[in-house]
Chain A
Amino acid sequence: MSAGLVSDISIFVLAILAGYEVISKVPSTLHTPLMSASNAIHGIVVVGAMITAAQAHDATGYVLMFVASVFAAMNVVGGYAVTDRMLEMFKKRPAPQPQADPTKNGN
C-alpha cells in the first residue's frame, strides 16, 4: 500500500467520524434542512468534474466531462439554494407577534 493511499484512507475514516459526531446532536426539527445541507455538501463532486475536465482531451472525454459538470453543478447550486430557502424560515423573530397597535406608545 502506498503512503498516499494510507493517508487517503485515514482522511476518509476520520471524516466519517467527524460527520458522525457533528450530526448526531441535531434536533429533529432541523433534520430536513440538515438533509438538504448535507445534500449540498456532496456537491463538492463539482471539484471532481473540474479535475476530470483538466484531463479530457478527446470527444469521449469531453462528453463525459460535460455530463459530469452539468450534474455536479445542478447538485451544488441547487443544494445550497434550497437549503437557504428552508433556513430562511428559521429567522429569529420577536417572541410575541408584534400586535399592530401604535396608539399604545403615546399613552
Chain B
Amino acid sequence: MGTVDTIVAMAYLVAAIAFIAGLHLMNSPATARKGSPISTAGMVVAVAATLAKMANDGNTSTTAWIVLAAGLVVGGGAGLWMAHSVKMTAIPQLVSLFNAVGGGAAAVIAIADFVRLAGVSGTAITPRTAVATALDVIIGGVTFSGSLIAAGKLQGWITGQPVVFRGARVLTGALAAVGVGGSAYLFTGSENIGILMMVVGASLVFGITMVLPIGGADMPVVISLLNAFTGIAVAMAGFVINSAGLIIGGALVGASGTILTILMAEAMNRSIPNIIIGGFGTGDSAVAVGAGATGDIRRLSADDAAIQMSYASKVIIVPGYGLAAAQAQRECRELADVLESRGVDVSYAIHPVAGRMPGHMNVLLAEVNVPYTQLKEMDAVNPEFDSADVALVVGANDVTNPAARRPNTPLSGMPILDVDHAKNIIVIKRSMGHGYAGIDNELYTNPKTGMFFADAKKGLAEITAAAKALVG
C-alpha cells in the first residue's frame, strides 16, 4: 500500500467514525443539531481523499475530469435548490427522490464497471464482482423506480389508491424469474451486457409493480424501506468497485433504515410483509361499509369553539395531516398562546404517525417554536384526556377513530388517541371525508363532539380571533 492509499484508507475510516458519531448525536433533540455537521465533515473528508487519490494516480482522463465536474455541479446544484425550496410538508417526497437517485447512482456504477470489464479482453469477471453487480442492479433498480412512484403518490401525481391490475401476480413472477435467471447466468462469469440490461429492466419494472399497489397511507413505511434498500445497494456498489467507504456508509443506512421501517410499521399496526405482499393481488381488505354515515352531527361555529376553549382549564390539541397540509402550524400556536394567556393548560397530543412520518408533526410544530414540553406522545397523553375539558382535533382522522378498538374494521388494532374520553371534543375538518382507512369516524357522531367545518388554517385563525375578542 502506497502512502497515498494508506492516507485515503484512513480518511474513509475517519468518515465512517463521523457518520456513526453523527447518527449517535441524533439520539436526543438537544444534541441532534451537532450530528449533522459532523456527518457532513465526514463526507467532505471522504470526497477530498478520493479526489486526492484520483489526482495522485493520474489515470483519470481530462474528459473524465470535465464530465465529473459537470455532473457534480449539475446534480449538487439541483439537490441544493430542491432542499431549500421544498415545503416542510413535502419532505417525505424529497427524501424519496433522494433515495431514487442514490439507488440509481449505485446501480449505474455497477453497470459502468461491468461494461468496462466486458470491453477489456482477457479480464474475467470474478464471481465476487458478478454477485455484487447483480445484487446492486437489482436492489438499486427496484429502489430507483419504486422511490419515484412513492414520491409521485405522495405528491399526488399518481393516485394514492392502491392500483391493482389483472395479471399482476403473473407479471411479478415473470420479472422475478428474469431477475434470478439473469443473475444466475451472470454468476457464471458471462460478460453479456444484454443479460445485465435484462436484469436491470426487470428490476425497474418490479420496483413499479411493487409500489403501485400500495396505498398512500403506507407510503412512509415504503419510503423508509426503500431508504434501507438504497443503503444496501450502495454497499453492493462498494463491493463492486472495492471501496470500503461505500460498504460502511451503505451498511449503516441499510441497518438504520430497516429499524426505522419496523418502528413505523409497528406504530401503524401493520407488518412489513403485509404492506408489501398485501398490495399484490389481495388488495386492501375490503373497505368496510361505514356504520352510520347518516349519524347526526353537531355543527359548531368559531365563536362556540372559542368560548368552550377559553373557559376550559385544560385543552389538548390533536394535530393531524390536515394541519400539516394546510400549513396551519403557526395559527395553531397562536390559538394556544391566546388560550394560555387566559390560564388554560394547553398541550399537544402527538400520534406516532401524525403527519406523514414518525416525528413529522414534531418538526412542523418545532418550526413555530412550540415548546418541546407541550408535545406529548401517545402513551403519555392518553390518560390525560380523561381530565381534559376540550380536545381540539385539527385535521386528524383515523388516529382518533374509536372504531380501532373494535375487531373487524380496517383500523382494528391500530393504537389511537383516546380523544373521545375528553369532556368535549371540537373537530376542525374541511368535510366529512374519510381518512386513509376509508371508513367513517365514529368520533364525529359522538354527542360530545362539535364539528367545525373549515380549512385548518382558516378555522384556527377564526377561532383565535373569536377568542381574542372574548378576552378584549
Q: Which residues of A contact B (CB under 8 A)?
A: 2, 4-5, 8, 11-13, 15-20, 22-58, 60-62, 64-93, 95, 97
Name which of B56-64, B178-186, B398-406, B444-452 contacts chain A. Answer: B56-64
B24, B88, B363, B369, most chain A CB atoms within 10 A: B363
B4 touches A (CB below 8 Å): no
Complex CA gap A52/B106 in Å reads 11
Across the interface, do A31 and B260 meet the contact criterion of CB distance under 8 Å?
A: yes
Across the interface, do B91 and A82 meet the contact criterion of CB distance under 8 Å?
A: yes
Which chain A residues lie closer than 8 Å to B6 at the CB level?
none
B328 touches A (CB below 8 Å): no
A and B contact pairs by CB, cutoff 8 A, 29 listed? A12-B235, A16-B255, A19-B255, A23-B23, A23-B260, A25-B27, A32-B357, A33-B26, A37-B36, A37-B39, A38-B253, A41-B231, A42-B231, A44-B245, A44-B246, A44-B250, A47-B47, A51-B243, A53-B54, A53-B60, A54-B54, A68-B71, A70-B101, A77-B77, A80-B40, A81-B84, A82-B91, A84-B40, A97-B369
Q: Is the interface of B mostly helix, strand, loop or mixed?
A: helix
CB of A90 to closest CB in B, whole Å:
5
CB of B79 to closest CB in A, whole Å:
3
Which chain A residues lie closer than 8 Å to B78 at the CB level?
70, 74, 78
Across the interface, do A50 and B102 meet the contact criterion of CB distance under 8 Å?
A: no
CB contact between A47 and one of B46, B104, B227 (< 8 Å): that residue: B46
B30 touches A (CB below 8 Å): yes
Q: Total A-B pairs in contact (CB under 8 Å)?
A: 368
Which chain A residues lie closer than 8 Å to B352 at the CB level?
28
CB contact between A71 and one of B22, B75, B95, B251 (< 8 Å): that residue: B75
CB of B41 to closest CB in A, whole Å:
10
CB of B150 to closest CB in A, whole Å:
13
A19-B237 contact in complex given A29-B362, A44-B246, C-beta closer than 8 Å: no
Name which of B113-121, B163-171, B433-441 contacts chain A. Answer: B113-121
Complex CA gap A78/B23 in Å reads 18
Closest to B246 in A: A48
Chain B 46-74, CB within 8 Å of chain A: the 1/0 string? 11001100100101110111011011111
Closest to B69 in A: A69
Known: A37-B26, A88-B33. 4 other contacts (CB 8 A): A16-B254, A35-B227, A72-B75, A84-B40
Across the interface, do A49 and B105 meet the contact criterion of CB distance under 8 Å?
A: yes
B326 touches A (CB below 8 Å): no
Across the interface, do A74 and B98 meet the contact criterion of CB distance under 8 Å?
A: yes
CB contact between B251 and one of A19, A82, A86 (< 8 Å): that residue: A19
A42-B234 contact in complex given A18-B252, A89-B367, C-beta closer than 8 Å: yes
Across the interface, do A8 and B79 meet the contact criterion of CB distance under 8 Å?
A: no
CB of A68 to closest CB in B, whole Å:
4
Closest to B115 in A: A60
Complex CA gap A45/B50 in Å reads 12
Across the interface, do A30 and B26 meet the contact criterion of CB distance under 8 Å?
A: yes
Which chain B residues lie closer than 8 Å to A44 at the CB level?
15, 19, 43, 46, 234, 245-246, 248-250
Which chain B residues lie closer than 8 Å to A27 at the CB level?
27-29
Across the interface, do B71 and A65 meet the contact criterion of CB distance under 8 Å?
A: yes
Which chain A residues lie closer than 8 Å to B362 at the CB level?
29, 32
Which chain B residues lie closer than 8 Å to A31 at the CB level?
260, 263-264, 357-359
Across the interface, do A24 and B259 meet the contact criterion of CB distance under 8 Å?
A: yes
Complex CA gap A24/B255 in Å reads 10
Q: Give the contact-size bracket for chain B.
A: 35 or more
CB contact between A85 and one of B23, B84, B108 (< 8 Å): that residue: B84
Across the interface, do B230 and A20 meet the contact criterion of CB distance under 8 Å?
A: no
B319 touches A (CB below 8 Å): no
Closest to B61 in A: A57
A48-B95 contact in complex given A22-B20, A31-B264, C-beta closer than 8 Å: no
Across the interface, do A71 and B227 meet the contact criterion of CB distance under 8 Å?
A: no
Which chain B residues lie closer than 8 Å to A67 at the CB level?
71, 104-105, 108
Which chain A residues lie closer than 8 Å to B224 at the CB level?
35
Across the interface, do B76 and A77 meet the contact criterion of CB distance under 8 Å?
A: yes
Across the interface, do B59 and A54 meet the contact criterion of CB distance under 8 Å?
A: yes
CB of B124 to closest CB in A, whole Å:
14
Complex CA gap A61/B193 in Å reads 14
A20-B255 contact in complex given A64-B111, A73-B76, C-beta closer than 8 Å: yes
Complex CA gap A80/B16 in Å reads 16
Which chain A residues lie closer than 8 Å to B80 at the CB level?
77-78, 81
CB of A24 to closest CB in B, whole Å:
6
Which chain B residues lie closer than 8 Å to A4 at the CB level?
242
B83 touches A (CB below 8 Å): yes
Across the interface, do B369 and A19 meet the contact criterion of CB distance under 8 Å?
A: no
Across the interface, do A47 and B245 meet the contact criterion of CB distance under 8 Å?
A: yes
CB of A61 to closest CB in B, whole Å:
6
CB contact between B36 and one of A11, A77, A80, A89 (< 8 Å): that residue: A80
Which chain A residues lie closer than 8 Å to B253 at the CB level?
19, 38-39, 41-42
B35, B59, B73, B237, most chain A CB atoms within 10 A: B237
Across the interface, do A53 and B64 meet the contact criterion of CB distance under 8 Å?
A: yes
CB of A10 to closest CB in B, whole Å:
10
